Chains A and B, each alone.
Chain A
Amino acid sequence: MSEIDPSRRKFLGSSSAIVAGLALAPGLLLIDTAHGRPAGEASSGKVRWGILIDTNQCKPGCNDCVTACNQENGLSGGTQSTDSQWIRKVELKDMRSGRTASLPMMCQHCEKPPCVDVCPTTASFKRADGIVLVDKHRCIGCRYCMMACPYKARSFVHEALTDQRTEVPRGKGTVESCTLCVHRIDQGLGPACAAACDKAGHHAIVFGDLNDPDSEISKRIRSAATTQVRSDLALNPGVQYQGI
């Protein structure tokens, strides 16, 4: 029987601790710096993520939010009727006064989403924090949600995809729409469209927690007249508009 070498044991013990520390530290540091939701923790119903779009600040012709969305989510940017468009710029003209407005339109993340009601397989679902998503593994591609959405916010993937982003799963034959950049939100960041709008200096897209009375979005909604698109349908969308 060989003799136990205590110095070898000590070396193995300390080097294991160093390796373990090196492996864990970045993760712990990331959590600390990002302030996102730790993996494995369910989204909280205490938060309701929302967006306020100030159409007075939104510039006609500016497409930065759309470009940012396409880049962030790996969309082609094509505008054929079979291409996915998660966010689009809509140009409006008041039929009586002729007043014009420009605004981005995307999934409105309704509190009572018709897409979730009609989905036969529960692929369309709403997270506790109000984000409406499609589970790409459950979607059978029936497109009933697209029929039901009052905002025409959803797209169907008509052909095979290449060069997808790992954070944003997509798949041929399934339906998709704006995820509010849920992968960024879970890291403590806001949606790419809002970041791009801020970068362009327009600040027309304000993202935040509608349930937090001290958030900028809540303060803005309290102080200015805002509307929900098709508010007559009483779906209580998380996306609200100012200036229309």
Chain B
Amino acid sequence: MSVNSAPASDKGAFYTLLVLGMLLSALGFSASYYMEEHGHIVTGMNNQIVWGLPHVFAIFMIVAASGVLNVASIGTVFGKTIYKARAPLSGLLSIALLAGGLTVLMLDLGRPDRLMVAATNYNPTSVFAWNIVLYSGLFTLVAIYIWSIMERRMNPYSKPVGFMVFGWRIILTTGTGLIFAFLVARQAYGSALLPPMFIVLSFAWGMAVFHIVQTSMYAWNRKTLNPAILQRKKNLMGVFVIGSLYFVIAYHLTNLYFAKQTGFEHFILFDGGIYPLLFWGGYVLLGNLVPLALLYLPNLGKTKCVVIASSLIVIGSLALLYVFIVGGQAYPLAIFPGYEASSTFGDGQIGQYNPSLPEFVLGIGGMGIAFFITVVGVRLFNFLPQDTPGDKD
């Protein structure tokens, strides 16, 4: 049964979801209007913590936008049938998440009205400027990719386009990691480990988002996913979660080894208040250990466990990004190594950040945009994976 021929009760559900998506998006836009009218004074961000909650949401969505393409990549690049059937949905989610993330990033600008300036003044040395090209490129490539899979005449092109999407998304997530890797002076950033770490994180987060959406769609259409397919995909997600945890551990261990970085690591991992709490409780426990238990413990790993594990991975990812982005700025810059510094501008002090409602609503609004695009896309086109019996490769 395709969604296009859904019964009347499902149409009601569709419109409910549509309105929900629109409502969340509208709230996000209002929050951004409020922020623009009053200035960033109404947010918790300041001259010490210059990037806050909107960036946590935006970067999550941008990283996950690349990650959801795992499914398309494995289907097209590695020729796995069950993934191929899910490639269109994977492409749609990528576009939706990227649109949501970029909207948040754009609306958080001090001058969102100057978007045209960003489009017409290009600094070739800025990784932000590179990312503008990478983001628009991904939109275009993924749209062509979906077209090549869904339009029979275009099918011969799906493989080369799929390869291009695969390459592009790896470069795109590298670009996201480089935003931080290129920051020479901050203890939390400036590491070549960050781009590969972001790539592996994107694998795990993307799979988690994909599982949540796929399960909702199957439930909506009163279908059950073939347990063999679920088994394969949840195992893959588990491997990605372990892989990303490995990178996060390697990042912190290398920092702990450098004497000049131990102060920062102690702050993030032990005595920094909210940051260690979110790192250990939010990311390590809820975002890794519990999901891995749900995926791999005997008698677990069924549909419900996979959805709960996926949701926890998403929560863990937001916790990790909060620690990484906000915590990374909260620790004072080492401007005068060997000295204790104090000033009226926060030198030598831990930066304070109290997220405000508008910036949280802006972030949620971005999620709303992604949700809205997904709901509309799924309704307009036939994105429900069509498995033929016996497919489990």
Q: Mark B166-199, 1 if CB is under 8 A from A, else 0.
A: 0000000000000100111110010000000000
B258 shortest CB reach to chain A, Å: 13
Question: Contact: B109 with A149, CB < 8 Å?
Answer: no
Among A89, A94, A120, A122, find the residue whose CB has the most chain B CB atoms closer than 10 A.
Answer: A120
Stretch of B70-78, B118-126, B247-255, B315-323 lying at the A interface: B118-126
Question: Contact: B340 with A93, CB < 8 Å?
Answer: yes
Q: Does B225 contact A (CB under 8 A)?
A: no
A244: chain B residues within 8 A (beta carbon): 336, 339
Interface residues in B19-65 by Cβ distance below 8 A to A read: 36, 38-41, 46-48, 50-51
Question: Contact: A229 with B118, CB < 8 Å?
Answer: no
Question: Contact: A147 with B47, CB < 8 Å?
Answer: no
Question: Contact: A151 with B340, CB < 8 Å?
Answer: no
Question: Contact: B352 with A81, CB < 8 Å?
Answer: yes
B161 shortest CB reach to chain A, Å: 28
A174: chain B residues within 8 A (beta carbon): 110-111
> With A91-B342, A120-B123 in contact, do A156 and B47 touch (Cβ < 8 Å)?
yes
A82 to B42, CA, bound (A): 10
A53 to B104, CA, bound (A): 42
> With A95-B339, A151-B335 in contact, do A173 and B41 touch (Cβ < 8 Å)?
no
A95 to B336, CA, bound (A): 11
Stretch of A36-44, A111-119, A199-207 lying at the B interface: A111-119
A43 to B346, CA, bound (A): 34
B355 shortest CB reach to chain A, Å: 14
Contact of A122 among B51, B121, B127, B345 (CB under 8 A): B121
Q: Does B273 contact A (CB under 8 A)?
A: no
B387: chain A residues within 8 A (beta carbon): none
Stretch of A23-31, A138-146, A185-193, A214-222 lying at the B interface: A138-146
B46: chain A residues within 8 A (beta carbon): 80-82, 158
Question: Contact: B338 with A140, CB < 8 Å?
Answer: no
A105: chain B residues within 8 A (beta carbon): 335, 343, 345, 347
A155: chain B residues within 8 A (beta carbon): 47
Q: Does A127 contact B (CB under 8 A)?
A: no
Q: Which residue of A lies closest to B179 (CB)?
A: A144
Q: Does B129 contact A (CB under 8 A)?
A: yes
Q: Which residue of B lies closest to A84 (CB)?
A: B47
B150 shortest CB reach to chain A, Å: 34
A16 to B185, CA, bound (A): 62
Q: Does A166 contact B (CB under 8 A)?
A: no
B182: chain A residues within 8 A (beta carbon): 117-118, 148
Question: Contact: A141 with B352, CB < 8 Å?
Answer: no
Q: Does A22 contact B (CB under 8 A)?
A: no
Question: Contact: A159 with B39, CB < 8 Å?
Answer: yes
Interface size for A (C-beta < 8 A) is 58
Among A116, A148, A244, find the residue whose CB has the most chain B CB atoms closer than 10 A.
Answer: A148
Question: Contact: B340 with A230, CB < 8 Å?
Answer: no
Q: Does A128 contact B (CB under 8 A)?
A: no
B343: chain A residues within 8 A (beta carbon): 88-91, 105
Question: Contact: B121 with A156, CB < 8 Å?
Answer: no
Question: Contact: B335 with A173, CB < 8 Å?
Answer: no
Interface residues on B, range: 35 or more
Q: Does A85 contact B (CB under 8 A)?
A: yes
Q: Does B117 contact A (CB under 8 A)?
A: yes
Chain A interface mostly = loop
A171 to B110, CA, bound (A): 10
A239 shortest CB reach to chain B, Å: 12
Interface residues in A143-187 by Cβ distance below 8 A to B read: 143-144, 146-152, 154-160, 171-175
Q: Does A18 contact B (CB under 8 A)?
A: no
Interface residues in B142-182 by Cβ distance below 8 A to A read: 179, 182
> With A81-B346, A120-B118 in contact, do A152 and B335 touch (Cβ < 8 Å)?
yes
A123 to B341, CA, bound (A): 31
Q: Does A92 contact B (CB under 8 A)?
A: yes
Q: Does A8 contact B (CB under 8 A)?
A: no
Question: Contact: B39 with A114, CB < 8 Å?
Answer: no
Question: Contact: B344 with A148, CB < 8 Å?
Answer: no
Question: Contact: A173 with B185, CB < 8 Å?
Answer: no
Q: Does B333 contact A (CB under 8 A)?
A: yes
Q: Does B376 contact A (CB under 8 A)?
A: no
Question: Contact: A117 with B126, CB < 8 Å?
Answer: yes
B115: chain A residues within 8 A (beta carbon): 140
Contact of B129 among A120, A229, A230 (CB under 8 A): A120
A37 shortest CB reach to chain B, Å: 25
> With A105-B335, A157-B39, A229-B336 in contact, do A150 and B184 touch (Cβ < 8 Å)?
yes
Among B123, B128, B186, find the residue whose CB has the most chain A CB atoms closer than 10 A.
Answer: B123
Question: Contact: A140 with B117, CB < 8 Å?
Answer: yes
- Can you report 10 residue pairs joining A to B where beta carbons are below 8 Å apart? A80-B46, A84-B47, A91-B342, A105-B347, A117-B126, A121-B121, A152-B345, A159-B40, A174-B110, A229-B335
Interface residues of B (CB under 8 A from A): 36, 38-41, 46-48, 50-51, 109-112, 114-115, 117-118, 121-123, 125-129, 132, 179, 182-186, 189, 329, 333, 335-336, 338-347, 351-352
When A and B form their complex, which 4 residue pairs have the shortest distance between CB atoms, in order from nearest? A141-B110, A173-B110, A150-B185, A81-B46
Additional A-B contact list (6), CB under 8 Å, known A123-B117, A147-B186: A90-B336, A116-B125, A121-B117, A172-B110, A173-B110, A233-B184
